[in-house]
């Protein structure tokens, strides 16, 4: 960590944080580039006839991919604890890159990452904002979901997002995938958030 601080990659003072907005973009792209380059996903598969990004379809494809290949891919990352979130970012970047962009906010030490997907809105020339909150299962599924929903709602409000997704990565060893993988919708503060188990 001292080396990363000496290089100026992370802030000099605690809490640990990436030093500046440029590094917040460059570091995850560098960590995921080789993974992203090997993925076969195409942007056209996840954009409808109106030009809108079908984020739920993209997350469903990632959920299937993660179930089938996560052990193999996550092992490639030097930082295995962050591996699932880095793999998700590589998967998203492969599709979103060239049409929209992904902004990242890290809750280092709080077992979470916020992703904001910004996609051009062909209808009005503006942009659509889609929030993805990533959590690692900790202290039970319902507790993790409850905390994650609060964080997702707050991030949606702050970013003026039209859609919210909460992804819960269950890293429990020897737990069957049928117990880890699910999709459900939760309503909180009159907003509907898709909750994805992986």
Pairing of strands 191-197, 182-188: antiparallel
Task: Give the tens place of pLDDT for each residue, 27-57.
Answer: 665 655 555 556 567 788 899 999 999 999 9
For 64, other C-beta atoms within 10 Å of its C-beta total 12
The C-alpha atoms of residue 178 and residue 82 are separated, in whole angstroms, by 22
Query: Does residue 161 contact residue 131 with C-beta atoms inside 8 Å?
Result: yes
Task: Give the tens place of pLDDT for each residue, 12-29.
Answer: 777 777 777 666 666 665
Instruction: Say what the pTM is.
Output: 0.77
Mean pLDDT score across all residues of the chain: 83
Q: What pLDDT band is residue 111 in, cutting at 50, 70 and 90? A: very low
Max CA separation in the chain (angstroms) = 50
For 131, other C-beta atoms within 10 Å of its C-beta total 26
The C-alpha atoms of residue 30 and residue 187 are separated, in whole angstroms, by 36
List the chain domain ranges: 22-197
Task: Give the tens place of pLDDT for each residue, 130-175.
Answer: 999 999 998 899 999 999 999 999 999 999 999 999 999 998 889 9
The C-alpha atoms of residue 114 and residue 105 are separated, in whole angstroms, by 5
Alpha carbon 100 to chain centroid, angstroms: 15
Q: Is the pLDDT of residue 80 over 60?
A: no
């Amino acid at each position: 960590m001292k080396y990363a601080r000496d290089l100026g990659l992370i802030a000099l003072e605690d809490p640990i944080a990436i030093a500046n907005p440029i590094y917040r973009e460059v570091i995850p792209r560098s960590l995921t580039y080789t993974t992203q380059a090997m993925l076969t996903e195409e942007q056209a598969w996840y954009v409808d006839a109106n030009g809108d990004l079908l984020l739920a379809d993209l997350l469903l494809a990632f959920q299937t991919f993660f179930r089938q290949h996560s052990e193999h891919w996550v092992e490639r990352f030097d930082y295995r604890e962050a591996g699932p979130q880095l793999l998700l970012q590589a998967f998203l970047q492969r599709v979103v890159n060239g049409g929209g962009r992904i902004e990242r906010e890290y809750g280092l030490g709080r077992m979470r990452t916020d992703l904001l997907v910004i996609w051009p809105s062909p209808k009005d020339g503006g942009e659509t904002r889609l929030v993805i909150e990533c959590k690692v299962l900790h202290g039970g599924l319902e507790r993790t979901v409850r905390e994650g929903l609060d964080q997702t709602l707050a991030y949606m409000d702050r970013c003026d997002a039209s859609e919210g997704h909460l992804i819960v990565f269950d890293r429990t060893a020897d737990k069957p995938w049928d117990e880890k993988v699910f999709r459900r919708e939760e309503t909180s503060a009159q907003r509907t958030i898709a909750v994805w188990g992986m």
